[in-house]
Structure 1
């Protein structure tokens, strides 16, 4: 499985956190389930900066069920008191059926009227495996049979987010044997971001992890290894999306 802390900018500040793979029935619909649980003293806050995957999330919490669209910038979640969430990082094939317009959900969310799902998950907590199983059954039932377009969307997202040799839209289009225009339209309909933005997100996540985990690596080395034109382009991506420089991020650890 992918590094469970990839996309989490300060993993040492996490509450109790469980990440679970999907079952066989949901393997084409969910990347993984994420389940934080926390119990904080009065007046104490836990702040966690995130650089999420370019994907939507279904989140079940004590107060309801929410479909969160893809994000374009780093964000922050502030935890207080006690609570939990059971989330599913959705693959494009699932989002195609759960939202009529994924691009309209970018940096936004939609509250879903699913009280039965919320009640069932709440009853299963604090058992993360049982709660994830309930969410999985709901997603599988709601999505139904996958189309060829849905499977192509999954293949596109998997390629853009895991293959370090894919640096341009044309690279991905050639690998998938479709036109660049087809890939652009598919990303708009099934993710809500252009393919180029997905590639940039992957490289920035990899860069953040390298900056954090490899203190001996220079910024120039990291930039070169990840396909950036030069160190300045890496620094610009950090500032634009994360709001700080690579050196400032390294210094925070």
Structure 2
């Protein structure tokens, strides 16, 4: 599956949007940088709906820096006018540098004081600014601005988030196995794959993610299910449920309703027309 749109419920509604992988030396602290840019007509509002990753995001916008905690449900943001953001999807290993109890930030976004980060990223992303973001995306100038903004954010991360130790790297491995193995449905399976106890898995998730490990598993499976429902309109939803380890169609339907607030079939219809 193409990770570029994973977690984005209606990709066709997005403004200019890019996910940029970090350099290898930072991959243990940030999963990717994400940059939306928009320039909407007066009075127009674009609602962006997300099924968030079970992770924290550090986000730079023109008016400041924020830290978003792990989400337990679908989230959305209404875009209007003109703007941009440069976000960093944090790896679990980096989280304790920003917050000691990530669970306290569930479904919450708080200001984060990082004036040097704000100044450096803002200067890079706004350089040689032109009124039309679509036009800027078509030339090399837009790519250079995004690359410079990512480089500025990366330098800040290198200076402020130390290389993780063994325990933090184990938290990254937990995230990796949960995401990669679609047959992993229980916490004890993850513990066995990592050669650690269930209690250790629970501690790692609490300290580095702020969600129970079972919630992490369910979120990755639901992201995968939503993407397959959207991208494979001819595949019966019951087949998708079976492929991803749901007991039956009803269990997948319940997960959709609980987290997203709508059914898989209604999502397929609306996403197909987005």
Q: What is the deviation of 1:83?
A: 0.2
Q: What is the deviation of 1:145?
A: 2.9
Q: What is the deviation of 1:132?
A: 0.9
Counterpart pick for 1:147 among 165, 168, 175: 165
Q: What is the deviation of 1:24?
A: 2.0
TM-score, normalization by structure 2: 0.90
* Structure 2 alignment gaps of length 5 or more: 127-144
Residues 197-237 of structure 1: CA deviation (Å, up to 9, x unaligned): 11111111111111111111111101100000000000000
2:183, 2:244 within 8 Å by CA — same for their partners in 1? no
2:60, 2:85 within 8 Å by CA — same for their partners in 1? yes
Question: RMSD between aligned alpha carbons?
Answer: 1.1
Secondary structure of the equivalent of 1:76?
A: strand
CA distance in 2, matches of 1:96, 1:54: 15
* Structure 1 alignment gaps of length 5 or more: none
Q: What is the deviation of 1:115?
A: 1.7
Secondary structure of the equivalent of 1:145?
A: coil
CA distance in 2, matches of 1:60, 1:113: 11
- Residue of structure 2 equivalent to 1:192: 210
Does 2:231 correspond to 1:213?
yes
Does 2:177 correspond to 1:159?
yes
Q: What is the deviation of 1:96?
A: 1.9
Q: What is the deviation of 1:2?
A: 5.1
CA distance in 1, matches of 2:43, 2:162: 45
CA distance in 2, matches of 1:54, 1:133: 25
Q: What is the deviation of 1:165?
A: 2.2
1:9-28 superposed matches below 5 A: 9-28=9-28
Q: What is the deviation of 1:174?
A: 0.4
